[in-house]
Amino acid sequence: MLSLFRQLWLPVAYYLSWILFGLGGLVLNFACIPLLLLPHRERHGPRVRAVTRWMFNFWLRWMHASGVVRVTWNGFDRPLPTGVIYVANHPCLVDAPFLFARLPDTVCIFKPALLRNPFIAPTALLCGYVSAGENGIDLIRNSVERLAAGQSLLIFPEGTRTASGRTLNPLKPGFALIARRSGCPVQLIRVRSSPLLARKSCPWWRVPPLPGCVEFTLDEFIFPGEIDSPASFSERIAAHFQEKLPLVSDCA
């Protein structure tokens, strides 16, 4: 009887999770729109980032408590510093909001298409996220400015979710240039997830086998003095991820 209940409940809970995500994003973005019209809107950034982190944390806890996703955090039991470049692989759609729920005062580089998304754009602008639509020089400069202000930067150097059947997409070297220019340390994060959980080949509205799982592992911490040329550093990080991740980045 309990097994039958879980079979019926989990798909319902899965869709409820995305409804909560959408409604929460809509409410937050409507609240942010008036703030965008105020002068010196950047001063609201820390509060908006704190609220966004709280909402992502609530969503993470809901998905875990409802049984939709089992989330494992390896090495996250110690306080995490700010002013750090967090570099992670990107197997699925939910890993970014889950990480934002745990990383302190963190911004990211987001796709220009998200500026047309009413669930995301106003909050992203107020949070001070950096648009990948900027030219390369502006993107590097704005990222370095965020780090100099004491914020952390979350980067997925693959640029998009990992292609189906691959360990890792080719890395874009921009993250290495930001690390070199900023003089900030780099913290690697390995992510593993269920093979069909909001993957590139499996849209979020298609119910995957449930419960799913996502596993985050705090990996190597790289000090600024260990960062060499951007091309060499990018190759080093790609080789590291390739070695540490399985052929297909699944979790049990």
| CATH number of the domain encompassing residue 18 | 3.40.1130
Q: What is the mean pLDDT of the chain?
A: 89
Question: What is the CA 27 to chain-centroid distance, rounded?
Answer: 21
pLDDT tops 80 at residue 200: yes
Torsion of CA 78, 79, 82, 83, to 10 degrees: -40
Phi-psi region of 101 (alpha: psi -120 to 50; beta: other; left: phi over 0): alpha
pLDDT of residue 54: 96
pLDDT of residue 23: 92
Cis peptide bond upstream of 211, omega within 30: yes
- Whether 74 is in a domain gets the answer yes
pLDDT tops 60 at residue 2: no
Closest CA to 179 of 220, 236, 227, 232: 227
- Whether 11 is in a domain gets the answer yes
pLDDT grade for 165, boundaries at 50, 70 and 90:
confident
- Whether 249 is in a domain gets the answer no
- Whether 252 is in a domain gets the answer no
Domain of 73, in residue numbers: 2-244
- Whether 192 is in a domain gets the answer yes
pLDDT tops 60 at residue 1: no
pLDDT of residue 228: 87
**Which residue carries 């097994």 as its tokens?**
3
pLDDT tops 80 at residue 114: no
Domains in the chain, number = 1
